[in-house]
Amino acid sequence: MNCGFCKDKENNENNKRIIIETKLSKVFPSNQPIVLGHTIIIPKRCVPNFEDLTINEKNDIFELMTKIKLSLKNSFNCKGFNHAWNENIIAGQTVPHFHLHIVPRKKGDDGIYEYEPRKFLYRPNSRENSPNQELIKIAQIIKNNL
């Protein structure tokens, strides 16, 4: 697998829409959002699985998760969250770099409500990539509420 989070680090589109970053991790909107505000938290070090993270990286990712969830509540008035990561190709991991999905949920959103993992992770309808300019605006909204 190619790591889309690490290739062309200087020109990486994800870097243009960073919401928040630390010495160890960063957060940006998903380019294939399930709902508005769907964000991804990654370690800066390229490791494929959760177990490969150091304790400091794990702590950093979870601290960013707490911050970003508060911002998403303030930004989009969400009432709940789905948290997810896939490990290995067999489980749907398409980028060999650990990444935690934070999916804000509210009544009436377009995402799936019932939690049936096969429906949630492998939605029957295709998800289109969002235009980068739209994602940059979403990143700014969330960043303004940190």
Active site residues: 99
Task: List residues bridging with 100 in a β-sheet.
Answer: 41
Amino acid 133 reads Q
**Residue of 108, 110, 112 lying closest to 122 (CA atoms):** 112
* 8-state DSSP, 6: T
Rounded to the nearest angstrom, the gap between the alpha carbon of residue 22 and the centroid of all alpha carbons in its chain is: 15
* 8-state DSSP, 10: T
Neighbours of 138 (CB within 10 A): 23
Q: Which residues contact 93 (CB under 8 A, 6 or more apart)?
A: 1, 48, 85, 86, 87
Cα–Cα distance between 38 and 51 in angstroms, integer?
Answer: 24
